[in-house]
Structure 1
Amino acid sequence: MTTTVPPGTAASATGVPHSDVDPFAHDVLEDPLPMHAALREAGPVVHLDRYDVFALARYDDVHAALVDWQGFQSSAGVGLSNFRYEEPWRPPSLLLEADPPRHDAPRRVLQKVLGPRALRRLREGWAADAELLVDEVLSRATAFDAVAELSTAFPLRVFPDAVGIPKGGRERLLPYGNHAFNAFGPDNDLVAKGTPRVAELSGWVNAQCQRDVLSPAGFGADIWAASDRGDITPEQAPLVVRSLLTAGVDTTVHAISAILYAFATHPDQWQRLREDPSLARVAFDEAVRWESPVQTFFRTATTDVRVHDVLIPEGSKILMFLAAANRDPRRWADPDRYDLSRDPSGHVGFGMGIHQCVGQHVARLEAESILTALARRVATIELDGPPVRHHNNTLRAWESLPVRLTLG
């Protein structure tokens, strides 16, 4: 779907549809679906005049750009800021904001650290932790805010333990991650809101990445052990640990919230899960497709690149609407329905290609653990009031999700 134009070819974006929509405006963040539909229908490429970027919203084109790391560069930043000309607010991620060959060794290390052996080791303990948390919540009330009591509580309970950071201060992970994902967008009010705490939060997170702070058993220690073997350098090790702490909590919190919202609004699908708990993983991926906790990421044109009939000039920023692709009717039947009979594999909610989320299987295990514990005890999940969205330049999130559960 995309082809690289030889260097030196004159680039022109004539003929591309234009839009003055602001994808980061609060009304759009509250309900982005109409904008997604409009962009998909406008054409395979749309120029967003407000930010002078090119937008891709159709599934085939987003997927093609994600896998074409040679033409669509990550190392110039996966946000609006262009690292070719602008200094990033923190050292770039060795995974998300790097391309081969710099990207390769850290990726191999993290794939091994978060691989099947680690998940087997965690499965039993996380299942027990989920059972305990659900028991605690239900012993207090059957009506509560699912974001606070389940979606946030469980990842903050198990993931930092798995990384090996100390107990104290873990509540800082959420505002740090929130700011990191806001910073991928424009310098708007959402970024300004988090800026006063950047130095404090960054300093705390960076301190947790040091060898002497981490427990001797955990993902963090495994990353440092890889540096001892020479798989990565000692300078790279804390940055790889930081990648886990930056992207490993908020995204999972919002994915679990998405699942619970899906079941509260699709009660027939909750009954399907109760009847067949093995559908827990399908439930997770269908929620990631349907709600897309990570809505967007940027790339930069490495050279002049052609998408269909549009030639995108070298150095241009390209905004990929992962969420729009995940509801593209060209790819998905009845895309606005949350449906456990669907095969959601192929969704781009975790990206695709060499930059696909390396921690996705860890997130799946967290979600599977909490869903399994709930399915054993809960007959129905209903909304118990209007949910409140949390606005973020990159993430689709809930501030609160009032639910009422019926036991049975």
Structure 2
Amino acid sequence: MLTLPVSEVDPFSSEVLEDPIPFQRQLREAGPVVHLSSCDVYALGRYEQVHAVLRDWQDFQSAAGVGLSNFRREKPWRPPSLLLEADPPHHDAPRAVLEKVLGPRALRKLQQAWFADAERLVDEVLAEREFDAITRLAQAFPLRVFPDAVGIPGEGREHLLPYGDHLFNAFGPHNDLVARGTGGIGALSAWVDAQCTRDVLSDNGFGATIWAAADRGDITGEQAPLVVRSLLSAGVDTTVHGLAAVLYAFATHPDQWQRLRADPALAKVAFDEAVRWESPVQSFFRTATADVEIAGVTVPEGKKVLMFLGAANRDPRRWSEPDVFDLARDPSGHVGFGMGLHQCVGQHVARLEASALLTALAKRVDRIEIAGQAKRHHNNTLRAWESLPLRVRLA
């Protein structure tokens, strides 16, 4: 049996959230499994173990919560997600419905409209040569196209961002970041829940398709609004931060931007490489269903396992020159969208949005560069930007 390394570093401290790379490097070097004394969890930073645990839903359940809170002992702050916070068999029917709703056939119908909408947005933004890429592009485009596809009204869509911010903060400890959102989360949750009802949704969007699945008996009427709620999370937050990641990557790697301009078909590869490189979703938890061994270390039943997706995505055991953003790389296999049964159901939506936006930019912009002081947005789960000022030179 291996000796279990122990780290006293708090991965949710402001210092680590500002720059998690040094901590993640230390975590990988310490061993395949490390006990984090700050939150009494078993941490994984190497690709092999993170990948294996993500795929092993039998031994490492999601139903006890994918955050630090253990739903076996603590009441969740909202009804648990039927996808993210459930395991088979309860997970299966909602997942099947949502996979069909967001499948290739449905997204092909949206492609032309989304690419055209990206062209219009880029034209608006490029009227100025300097702008904040977070508010003007990374947030604006998903909030512009995806809620339309779901079928929710236009008014109030800005509530999706603070709701998602609190949702991902709540996966961590009850620190100041969680406290920051607690006061307003009741009203935000009520607004989100209201958008998921049949009578609010349009009759031709993804939401209506989910309610039609309930009418057919594929899911229950009680499950339908929760599946719509999952749809809103799957299609907004990770996409916003993924778009921010790829824009930052290109602003700091001008040679790779020229590579994309020469071959716009690389847009999806670029997005996945940025998700690997930046890992907008940095971590997720699982709970051991029994005493389970990981790389020679026994994780006791009921204990939380904290998988650092960002660390795994830069593990030199898996990736050559992992700290480099490189469009010549095949990034498939990264764990930025999870892996296995609970892999992000909205990842294809994110890829389509990224392809639309990058293609529109590549047509018009010869060079992207940082124009001022960029500022990180701290979140217990997400690697995010609050502000990313860019300057562009048109082609």
How does the TM-score come out when normalised to structure 1?
A: 0.96
- Map of 2:33 onto structure 1: 45
Contact preservation (8 Å) 1:182, 1:190? yes
- Map of 1:145 onto structure 2: 132
Q: Tell me, yes or no, if structure 1 residue 286 matches structure 2 residue 273.
A: yes
Which structure 2 residues correspond to residues 108-123 of structure 1 after superposition, within 5 A?
Answer: 108-123=96-111
- Map of 2:248 onto structure 1: 261
Q: CA deviation at 1:309?
A: 1.2
RMSD of equivalent CA atoms: 0.8
Q: Tell me, yes or no, if structure 1 residue 24 matches structure 2 residue 19.
A: no
Secondary structure of 1:269's counterpart equals: helix
Separation in 1 of the partners of 2:153 and 2:368? Answer: 34
Separation in 2 of the partners of 1:113 and 1:244? Answer: 9
Q: CA deviation at 1:310?
A: 0.4
- Map of 1:230 onto structure 2: 217
- Map of 2:202 onto structure 1: 215
Separation in 1 of the partners of 2:113 and 2:386? Answer: 28
Separation in 2 of the partners of 1:194 and 1:278? Answer: 40
Q: What CA deviation, in whole Å up to 9, does each residue of 1:205-240 have, x standing for no partner?
A: 000000000000111001000001100000000000
Q: CA deviation at 1:246?
A: 2.6
Deviates more, 1:243-252 or 1:64-73: 243-252
Q: Tell me, yes or no, if structure 1 residue 333 matches structure 2 residue 320.
A: yes
- Aligned residue type for 2:280: P
Q: CA deviation at 1:14?
A: 7.3
Separation in 1 of the partners of 2:204 and 2:13? Answer: 43
Secondary structure of 1:86's counterpart equals: coil
Q: What CA deviation, in whole Å up to 9, does each residue of 1:180-205 have, x standing for no partner?
A: 00000000000000001111000000
Which structure 2 residues correspond to residues 98-247 of structure 1 after superposition, within 5 A?
Answer: 98-139=86-127, 141-247=128-234
- Map of 2:350 onto structure 1: 363
Separation in 1 of the partners of 2:218 and 2:9? Answer: 45
- Aligned residue type for 2:50: V
- Aligned residue type for 2:77: W
Separation in 1 of the partners of 2:185 and 2:173? Answer: 16
- Aligned residue type for 1:143: E
Separation in 1 of the partners of 2:126 and 2:369? Answer: 15
Any gaps of 5 or more consecutive residues in structure 2? none
Separation in 2 of the partners of 1:41 and 1:27? Answer: 20
Q: Tell me, yes or no, if structure 1 residue 344 matches structure 2 residue 331.
A: yes
Separation in 1 of the partners of 2:60 and 2:269? Answer: 30
Q: CA deviation at 1:264?
A: 0.5
- Map of 1:317 onto structure 2: 304
- Map of 2:67 onto structure 1: 79
Contact preservation (8 Å) 2:98, 2:231? no
Identity of aligned residues (%): 73
- Aligned residue type for 1:71: D
Secondary structure of 2:372's counterpart equals: coil
Secondary structure of 1:85's counterpart equals: coil
Q: CA deviation at 1:46?
A: 0.2
How does the TM-score come out when normalised to structure 2?
A: 0.99
Q: Tell me, yes or no, if structure 1 residue 59 matches structure 2 residue 47.
A: yes
- Aligned residue type for 2:319: W
- Aligned residue type for 2:140: A
Q: CA deviation at 1:308?
A: 1.4
Separation in 1 of the partners of 2:64 and 2:332? Answer: 29
Taking a change above 3 Å as real, the CA distance of residues 247 and 189 of structure 1, as seen in their structure-2 partners, is farther
**Aligned with residue 58 of structure 2, among 63, 70, 90:** 70
- Map of 2:294 onto structure 1: 307
Separation in 2 of the partners of 1:381 and 1:42? Answer: 38
Contact preservation (8 Å) 2:47, 2:318? yes
- Map of 1:7 onto structure 2: none
Secondary structure of 1:207's counterpart equals: helix
Separation in 1 of the partners of 2:136 and 2:192? Answer: 24
Separation in 1 of the partners of 2:235 and 2:349? Answer: 9
Separation in 2 of the partners of 1:188 and 1:244? Answer: 27
**Aligned with residue 386 of structure 1, among 354, 373, 378:** 373
Q: What CA deviation, in whole Å up to 9, does each residue of 1:245-274 have, x standing for no partner?
A: 234212111100100000000000000000
Q: CA deviation at 1:149?
A: 0.7
- Map of 1:396 onto structure 2: 383
Following TM superposition, the consecutive aligned residue runs of length 4 or more in structure 1 with deviations greater than 6 angstroms are: none
Any gaps of 5 or more consecutive residues in structure 1? 1-12
Contact preservation (8 Å) 1:180, 1:246? no
